[in-house]
Amino acid sequence: MRTGTADVLGVSLRQRLTPADLLGRMNATFRFLLTGSMAAAAAATFRPRTCEGGP
């Protein structure tokens, strides 16, 4: 539960400190960076299996 609370507080703080005309860009940038890092991590940990049955 602590992580969820920290996420909400972090977003609230960023939105409070960001000027109103930049809120959309700030939110889009954070969403892009977070989802991009998840995709990069998934690609970095991908190990194709071989047909020989080995790991």
pLDDT digits (tens, 9 = 90+) for 1-41: 567 888 889 889 999 999 999 999 998 998 898 888 888 88
- In which region does residue 53 sit, left (phi positive, over 0), alpha (psi from -120 to 50) or beta (all else)? left
pTM exceeds 0.75: no
Q: Is the dihedral of CA 27, 32, 33, 37 positive or negative?
A: positive
Q: Which of 29, 33, 3 is nearest to 15 (CA)?
A: 29
Question: Is pLDDT above 60 for 43?
Answer: yes
Beta-carbon contacts of residue 49 (< 8 Å; ≥ 6 apart): 55
Q: What kind and span of H or E run contains 15? A: helix 2-17
